[in-house]
Amino acid sequence: MKDNTNDTICAISTPPGMGGIGIVRVSGPDAVGVACRLMPDIASKVGGNSQSHYIIYGHVVNQSDGRVLDEALLTVMRAPRTYTREDVAEINCHGGPAAVRAVLSAAMAAGARLAEPGEFTRRAYLNGRIDLTQAEAVMDLIASRTELSLAAAAGQLGGGLRGRVEGLRERIAGLLALVELSIDFSEEDVEVAPAAALLEKSAGIRADLDGLIASYGQGRVLREGLRVAIVGRPNVGKSSLLNLLARDDRAIVTDVPGTTRDTVEETINIGGLPVVVIDTAGIRHSEDVVEKEGIRRSVKALENSDLALLVLDGATELTAEDTALIDKIRGRACVPVINKSDLPGLLDDGQLRELLGDAVPVHICAKSGEGLDALVARIRESALGGGMERPPDVAINLRHKDALSRAASALGSFDAGVAGGHSPELLALELRDALDAVGDVVGATTPDDVLNRIFGEFCIGK
Ligand SMILES: Nc1nc2c(ncn2[C@@H]2O[C@H](COP(=O)(O)OP(=O)(O)OP(=O)(O)O)[C@@H](O)[C@H]2O)c(=O)[nH]1
Ligand SMILES: [Mg+2]
């Protein structure tokens, strides 16, 4: 998409389906003109440019024959105090699919162009109201399914990440100024910036960069959910555990070993944290083609997970299948779950402790829900670190992580150059690379294809 903010765009901003109200949003230099043609009975009530943020009641008419399509409320918001920083007109009509579509078509007939996905937010970014991290936060906020994800997105929208990144840019620019000063004085015998001072400043910047980069793990969990695979041999109660966590009869539970054949995924809100729980087929040796494929998927789900819940049946002795699985999981993040605590325990504690090492098991009864709170606490702890109730101050996404890593690596080359006695000209180049990379996070100099990718993922009307 080529950026052209001279035209006026329109889109339906409310979700498809039926609702009390549907909103058609119009933005651009002719937004109010479009609204006046769309709703001729309000034209005389619309004020001049100096009047802004008011609502008028009227009727939307078909542009070709003047037939009334719907009654609506028009909100007039004049630039620059609007979402896009352009004139914005919002038509609140009735929220039926035919009603909003009719109003949208009429807006197009009245002179507006249909907006691309994310185009309103793209204009907010192009017009300098928000930076790229805040534009991304808009989509994160809309996509948030849980409280912690929402809080993290709201923090980013409020400029939390922007502030941190701008701070880093200033410090790198300060370091660059120092190095450039020594270029100017290189003919004279003054040492403007001793190597030790440069390295100290650079180390401070890198520490902050590393701190931001490290927040990616939490950012990913807050955006995409923690992937938790429930694994174990057949009949230990994996599907029962999924149903308990999901508070729903999601997966089939029977006393026949090998009931679950395919993986079953469910996104669950665990204490404000999005968690994708995956129930898997019981892992054992099998000659059955279908079961074998199911087991292959179980292993894949385990490998793609952030955390494994290894379910063991507390009412039977450990089997060779259990110990083989414990071996397989060693080295992965895992919470051992000993199920069926309502039945007499038959597991050998000593043997189990030896096999599990540091991983302390949680005892539960998937039938009654006993022990669930302790298990949930362990899952949260594994996602966010011990006892964390609040979302992190910043939680970056993959694009931010890539850019910040490029900056860290450019600073690494700078350090090596300082240590190796490189000329200030060469050192300045490394710092400019670092500055550009950090600038990419906030979208200081972001190429069109990157913007297209980011805004292309937005919903229409935002
Ligand atoms: N007494 C008791 N029985 C349980 C408990 N949890 C599950 N069961 C029973 O154990 C049997 C197997 O449960 P599932 O949840 O289907 O086990 P699974 O691990 O998913 O089994 P597969 O899909 O075959 O691998 C069922 O008869 C459940 O009712 C529990 O906490 N206590
Ligand atoms: Mg099952």
* Cα of 237 from ligand 1 centre, angstroms: 3
**Residue 240, ligand 1, Cβ within 6 A:** yes
Q: Which residues contact 322 (CB under 8 A, 6 or more apart)?
A: 232, 233, 312
What φ, ψ does residue 316 adopt, rounded to 5°?
Answer: -130, 165
**Residue 257, ligand 1, Cβ within 6 A:** yes
On the CB side of 5, CA atoms within 13 Å amount to: 16
**Residue 366, ligand 1, Cβ within 6 A:** yes
* Cα of 257 from ligand 2 centre, angstroms: 8
How far apart (Å, rounded) are the C-alpha atoms in residues 172 and 194? Answer: 17
Residue 7 has pLDDT above 60, yes or no: yes
Q: Which amino acid is at 90?
A: E
Q: Is the peptide bond before 80 cis (omega within 30 degrees of 0)?
A: yes
Helices (H), 258-397: 289-303, 320-329, 349-356, 372-384
Residue 161 has pLDDT above 60, yes or no: yes
Burial class of residue 391, CB neighbours in 10 A (0-12, 13-18, 19+) = buried
Rama region for 277: left / alpha / beta (φ>0; ψ in -120 to 50; rest): beta
pLDDT digits (tens, 9 = 90+) for 316-354: 999 999 999 999 999 999 999 999 999 999 998 889 999
* Cα of 145 from ligand 2 centre, angstroms: 27
pLDDT digits (tens, 9 = 90+) for 434-456: 999 999 999 987 888 888 989 98
The per-residue b/e assignment along 250-276, b for 16 or more CB within 10 angstroms, e otherwise, is bbebeeeebbbbebbebebebbbbbbb
**Residue 314, ligand 1, Cβ within 6 A:** no
Instruction: Name which of 63-72, 180-189, 385-394, 397-406 the model is least confident about.
Output: 385-394
**Residue 254, ligand 1, Cβ within 6 A:** yes
pLDDT digits (tens, 9 = 90+) for 112-143: 999 999 999 999 999 999 999 999 999 999 99
**Residue 280, ligand 1, Cβ within 6 A:** no
Q: What is the mean pLDDT of residues 216-224?
A: 92
Q: Which residue has the higher pLDDT, 312 or 388?
A: 312
pLDDT digits (tens, 9 = 90+) for 29-46: 999 999 999 999 999 999
pLDDT exceeding 70 applies to what percent of the chain? 96
What atom in ligand 1 is closest to the CA of residue 233? 25
**Residue 250, ligand 1, Cβ within 6 A:** no
Mind listing the domains of the chain with CATH numbers?
Answer: 9-130 (3.30.1360.120), 137-215+396-442 (1.20.120.430), 222-384 (3.40.50.300)
- Maximum CA extent, the chain: 86
pLDDT given at position 450: 85
Burial class of residue 362, CB neighbours in 10 A (0-12, 13-18, 19+) = buried
* Cα of 259 from ligand 2 centre, angstroms: 5
Q: Which residues contact 446 (CB under 8 A, 6 or more apart)?
A: 132, 440
For atom 1 of ligand 1, the residue with the nearest CA is 340
pLDDT-based confidence at residue 2 (cuts at 50, 70, 90): low
How far apart (Å, rounded) are the C-alpha atoms in residues 452 and 449? Answer: 5
Residue 200 has pLDDT above 70, yes or no: yes
Mean residue pLDDT of the chain comes to 93
Mutate which of 230, 233, 235, 297 for ligand 1 pocket (most atoms within 8 A of beta carbon)? 235
pLDDT-based confidence at residue 387 (cuts at 50, 70, 90): very low
Q: Which residues contact 107 (CB under 8 A, 6 or more apart)?
A: 10, 24, 26, 34, 38, 91
What φ, ψ does residue 133 adopt, rounded to 5°?
Answer: -65, -35
The tokens of 324 are what?
A: 């083989």
Mutate which of 238, 240, 313 for ligand 1 pocket (most atoms within 8 A of beta carbon)? 240
pLDDT given at position 191: 67
What φ, ψ does residue 119 adopt, rounded to 5°?
Answer: -70, -30
Residue 75 has pLDDT above 90, yes or no: yes
pLDDT given at position 444: 86
* Cα of 94 from ligand 2 centre, angstroms: 46
How far apart (Å, rounded) are the C-alpha atoms in residues 437 and 406? Answer: 6
